[in-house]
């Protein structure tokens, strides 16, 4: 793999993570003025569920209410300086996002077969980073985010499929996305309250991208995501926070792990 290409992907990732920081921290819960009870969000025949959605507001310091700008969250410097107004430490999701995006982009470029194939997956990294951080913070995925991610991704997938001479991969990607969406839609119907509909939308995005590479990868992505989710559930129990946790970050990381391990996984099946 060309070292210059890896360095370029790291630089792009650093800039992308930095520019994502303020927008993803602007999302807040919009809900009734009562403590949030995720279990009650299913509702009953007599009591409809409360309306809870992600609202785009300002990213503010919880201590002095300083409104953050991009200049306030410069990578590395801001981790130690904190809020430029009062010095309050930034949320852990700030350095997490700014480290994960460049690392994920480098791994993506390093483990895909060519630079052209990597291009759509760099977009996937950006979308999944935003989805995972927002879901981690407020247990909600903005309804439009997986759809926009999938729409832009579909255009990139079509373009790159034609460039590499594999137009049949477009059909494979769409079939994979529809199947994964349908599977999670059924799970959402069967177990209301255990799975958010944002996760159902997210699975179309993940199925689309992983299925473009191989129809086997969505299965591995779901397996890895489930194992990560299980670990998160055990961690939540140990921390005495209950059995519920946001599933979006686990699904996102599981999908990326399947992509990064595509070589060994496909070779083990004789498909490499």
Per-residue pLDDT of 132-181, as tens digits, reads 999 999 988 999 999 999 999 999 999 999 999 999 999 999 999 999 99
| Residue 204 and residue 210 in contact, taking contact as beta carbons nearer than 8 Å | no
Task: Name the band, by pLDDT with cuts 50, 70 and 90, for residue 212.
Answer: very high
Asked if the structure places residue 12 within a domain, the reply is no
- Three-state SS for 187? helix
Specify the long-range contacts of residues 65-74, CB closer than 8 Å, at least 24 apart: 68/22, 68/25, 69/22, 70/18, 70/19, 70/21, 70/22, 72/22, 73/18, 73/21, 73/22, 73/98, 74/18
Asked if the structure places residue 3 within a domain, the reply is no
Q: Give the span between the Cα atoms of 232 and 246, in whole angstroms.
A: 9
Asked if the structure places residue 53 within a domain, the reply is yes
Asked if the structure places residue 250 within a domain, the reply is yes
pTM more than 0.75 = yes
The tokens for 10 are 């790291």
Asked if the structure places residue 223 within a domain, the reply is yes
Per-residue 3-state assignment (H helix, E strand, C coil) for 206-259: HHHHHHHHCCCHHHHHHHHHHHHHHHHHHHHHHCCCCCCCCCHHHHHHHHHHHH
The per-residue b/e assignment along 187-196, b for 16 or more CB within 10 angstroms, e otherwise, is ebeeeeeebb
How many domains is the chain built from? Answer: 1
Asked if the structure places residue 227 within a domain, the reply is yes
Which pLDDT value is given to residue 33? 46
Residue 189 domain boundaries: 26-57+112-268
Q: Which residues pair with 136 in a beta bridge?
A: none
Task: Name the band, by pLDDT with cuts 50, 70 and 90, for residue 243.
Answer: low
Task: Name the band, by pLDDT with cuts 50, 70 and 90, for residue 3.
Answer: confident
Asked if the structure places residue 204 within a domain, the reply is yes
Asked if the structure places residue 100 within a domain, the reply is no
């Amino acid at each position: 793999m060309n070292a210059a290409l890896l360095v370029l992907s790291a630089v792009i990732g650093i800039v992308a993570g930095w520019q994502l920081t303020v927008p993803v921290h602007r999302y807040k819960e919009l809900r009734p003025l009562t403590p949030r009870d995720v279990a009650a969000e299913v509702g009953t025949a007599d009591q409809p569920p409360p309306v809870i959605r992600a609202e785009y507001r300002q990213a503010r310091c919880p201590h002095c209410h300083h409104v953050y700008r991009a200049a306030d969250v410069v990578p590395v410097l801001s981790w130690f300086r904190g809020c430029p107004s009062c010095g309050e430490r930034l949320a852990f999701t700030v350095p997490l996002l700014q480290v994960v995006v460049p690392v994920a982009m480098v791994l993506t470029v390093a483990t895909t077969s060519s630079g052209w194939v990597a291009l759509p997956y760099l977009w996937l990294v950006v979308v999944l980073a935003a989805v995972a951080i927002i879901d981690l913070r407020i247990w909600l995925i903005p309804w439009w985010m997986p759809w926009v991610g999938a729409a832009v991704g579909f255009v990139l997938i079509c373009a790159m499929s034609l460039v590499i001479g594999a137009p049949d991969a477009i059909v494979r990607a769409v079939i994979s996305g529809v199947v994964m969406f349908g599977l999670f839609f059924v799970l959402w119907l069967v177990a209301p309250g255990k799975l958010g509909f944002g996760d159902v939308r997210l699975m179309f995005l993940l199925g689309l991208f992983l299925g473009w590479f191989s129809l086997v990868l969505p299965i591995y992505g779901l397996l890895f995501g489930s194992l990560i989710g299980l670990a998160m559930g055990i961690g939540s129990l140990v921390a005495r926070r209950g059995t519920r946790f946001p599933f979006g970050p686990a699904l996102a990381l599981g999908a990326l792990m399947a992509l990064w391990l595509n070589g060994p996984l496909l070779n083990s099946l004789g498909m490499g």
